[in-house]
Each structure stands twice: as structure tokens, then as C-alpha cells.
Amino acid sequence: MPEIDHEVAGDSCAAALFGKYELGKLLGCGAFAKVFHGRDRRSGQSVAVKILNKKKLAANPNLASNIKREISIMRRLNHPNIVRLREVMATKSKIFFVMEFVKGGELFNKIAKLGRLSEDLSRKFFQQLISAVGYCHARGVYHRDLKPENLLIDENGNLKVSDFGLSALTEQIRPDGLLHTLCGTPAYVAPEILSKKGYEGVKVDVWSCGVVLFVLAAGYLPFNDQNLMNMYRKIYKGDYRCPRWMSPDLKRFLSRLLDANPETRITIDEILKDPWFVKGGVKPIKFHDEPDQDSDPVKGDDEPEGVKNLNAFDLISFSSGLDLSTLFESSCKSVDCERFLSEECPEKLMEEAERLARAERLRAKKRKKEEWGLEIEGHYGKFAMTIYFFRLNDRLVVVEARRRGGDSDCYEDVWSNKLRPELVRFGHDSQLDNPLICFDH
């Protein structure tokens, strides 16, 4: 067993990460998280494990909100130039992100070592960056913190976008069609963010991509000043100078990327046609998912529910949209919602639930919209609940019980003391009401 940080070893099951991952050396740490190298015991594959302390998150609601949003965003993304979030797990005191391990480290370190990159290498990384950013935009995700520190290089020399903690979703756009949160890294923020009048996520990401390209080819920032306000003035005016070694085509291209007016700034579609960008040929860039045999597609609201094969993200979010609160709470059991695992099939579980309900003189009827949903009510309006049965994999089914109304004492008596124990015994329960979420992505 490799040496584990004492904070991690504090969780009895976490030292070996639930028997699935071995933790190695510390790769980095911040105020709220530590990142370790890990190894998947099943495949031998390297992973990066980001570990967050729940107590520290609880003291910072804004950070906790960012983490929830990051999870909900990462579940949408599957692209070769974006770091893949493989799995999310949690205990009473920790949250674990198991991510793709990117061996080459930050692009920032590569620039720091070489000073600047050739235009051909800069172009390669920029093409991959635009492929990832365009894909995110097509999925309604705006990164808002693109910079070399958040761009990683894998063992094959390909770029991977990481750190979606400051990202925004289409749902956050206000009625005026704009985003308004002030965020990002000062040297990379677009001028419209500084104006505090609202901005379009697509356009601020394009600006940041332009700053990244400048840094790649020049080896230094286009807008830089020891006085922060002076730097902001330069950004607001689009005041920068290209070094003499840059080609005319690159200088012209940068002038369109770093256009201080968002209305005339180059778009992703225009980037894809620019002479400097396409020089030497460019691999086809796709901004939508290809079918992925290793993961299930995310269903739309209007698609039939049926029996789903769920991943970890769906398990913690399927009943309440993108409600990730169960990761941040000490237990996934509550007065109004409870989940457990069963080894019995959904058909037999629902039949048994109906039988148990009728034995307690309760009315039970199948929900119309869900193939495996059962509404139960009775005792003169004092009891009303719904039970859902979702297939997790070939062996396990998630049973979720939700109180819809009535008296809490009656619910506690009927569900907790009578119905649930019998369903548990019937299905050879594999308890989920310990504070652990641990399923493959």
C-alpha cells in the first residue's frame, strides 16, 4: 500500500479508495483540494484523484456550488481534448473525483521551459483547443477560465482542457441573453467582462483562446502590467503589440481574436476558415458526440424513460434534475427521499411493492410516464409516496422512495417500519444508505 496523506487515510474505506484505486504521490494541492496519482486496480491504468474536504466546502457555499456545477458540466462532456471525469465517490467527510491522468502536465510548464513555441506547434495546440471549446459551446458549456495552467499535455503531445470550476451553463444566462458573473484570471479576461454590463460566454472564451495563442507563440502575455488597473485599461482598449518574429498571417489572426469589440470579434466558425488556422491542413473538428460504446447517452426530457442503465452522475441526479446535494450531505437518506440497491429485477420488485402496499390496505397504481414507477397512498390522505425502480447494471437495481405528502409519522411507520424492510429482504439489499456513492461513470 503506498503512503497515503493522513487526511485521506482518516476515512477507513478511502485509504485504498474502496478497493478500486491505489493512491500514489501527491501531484498538487490547494486550499480545498489535493490531487494524487492513482492506479486502477482492475486495469492498471493511471488516474488522477482529486480529493475535497466536505467540512471546508461547507464553510464556503460558493465553492460548494462551483463543485456541484463542475460535476454537472463534466457529465456532459466526452471529447478527446477534454480531461475525462471517470468516476465520483463520496464518504462522510470527503468527495473523490477520479479523472483521466494526463502525464505531460500543464502547458504553462512547457512554455516556461521553452520560452515560446514554434508557430506550427502553437497552431497544433490551438486547433485542439478550438476543437474542445467549440464542442463545449455546442453542449451549452462556457469555460470562462481558459489559460495555459488549465491546459494539459498528454503522453502523445496532445492538449487536454481541464478545470471547469468556473464554467457556466446555458441555464445561467439571464433574460437579457447574457452572463453576468465576474470571473476568470485577470490577464485572460475579455474586456466586456470588465465593463460589468453582461457578456456572451462564447465570445469571452474566444478572447481567452486568443490570449493563449499569443502566449504560445510569443512566450509572454499580450496584456501585462504590475499595476492591475493599468493592465485592465490595456485589455479594455485591446492595447497590445506582437513581437517581430510573428508571421503577418498570425498577427492578423490575433487581431481578430483579440478584438476588444465582442460584436466584431471572430467567431468559432470563422476561426475554422482562417488561412493561418488551416495552414498545413487540419483534422476534421466535430463539436457533437460520436456514439460511445462505453457510456450511455444522456436522455432528453421528452424521451421514454423505461429501464435506464445509470452512471454515477445519473444516480445522484435523476430524480431532481441536476441535484447533486447527496454528494455533499452526510447521508443519502432523508425524510422525503431514500435510496437503496437491490439484486432483484424491477418487475418482481414492483410486484412485491404492490403486494405489500395492498396488505397494508394502501392503494397502489403504476405511474403513466415511468415504466417502473409505483404510486402508493392511503390512510385517509395521511400517506402518499412514489417508488421508482431503475436498473443500474445487469445485477443491481436502484430503488428510490419519495414521500409526496401526508403525515411524516405515518410515512415513517408504514414505509420505514413495514414496506422497506420487506423490500430489502426480498431483494437481498446491497445497502446504499451508507454515505457512499461509488459507481462507474
Return d(Cα 402, Cα 320) in angstroms, integer.
11
- Residue 76 DSSP code: T
Return d(Cα 264, Cα 270) in angstroms, integer.
11
Nearest 5°: phi and psi at 20? -100, -35
Helix/strand/coil percent split, the chain, to 5: 35, 20, 45
Nearest 5°: phi and psi at 267? -100, 170
Nine-digit cell at 358? 395492498
Angle at 427 between CA 424 and CA 428, to 5 degrees: 80
Please check whether residue 9 is in contact with residue 34, taking contact to mean a CB–CB distance below 8 angstroms: no
Return d(Cα 223, Cα 357) in angstroms, integer.
68
Please check whether residue 223 is in contact with residue 238, taking contact to mean a CB–CB distance below 8 angstroms: no
Contacts 24+ apart (CB under 8 A), 167-170: 167/69, 167/70, 167/73, 167/136, 167/141, 167/142, 167/143, 168/141, 168/142, 168/144, 168/201, 169/69, 169/72, 169/73, 169/140, 169/141, 169/142, 170/140
Question: Is residue 301 annotated as part of the catalytic site, yes or no?
Answer: no
Q: How many CB atoms lie within 10 A of CB 112?
A: 11
Please check whether residue 100 is in contact with residue 93, taking contact to mean a CB–CB distance below 8 angstroms: no
Q: Which of 145, 205, 259, 429 is catalytic?
A: 145
HEC per residue, 37-48: EEEECCCCCEEE
Nearest 5°: phi and psi at 168? -125, 155
Cell 410516464 sits on residue: 369
Please check whether residue 86 is in contact with residue 441, taking contact to mean a CB–CB distance below 8 angstroms: yes
In this structure, is the dihedral angle defined by the CA atoms of residues 185, 190, 191 and 195, taken in order, positive or negative?
A: negative
Return d(Cα 441, Cα 98) in angstroms, integer.
10
List of residues 6+ apart from 294 with CB closer than 8 A = none
Catalogue the active-site residues. 145
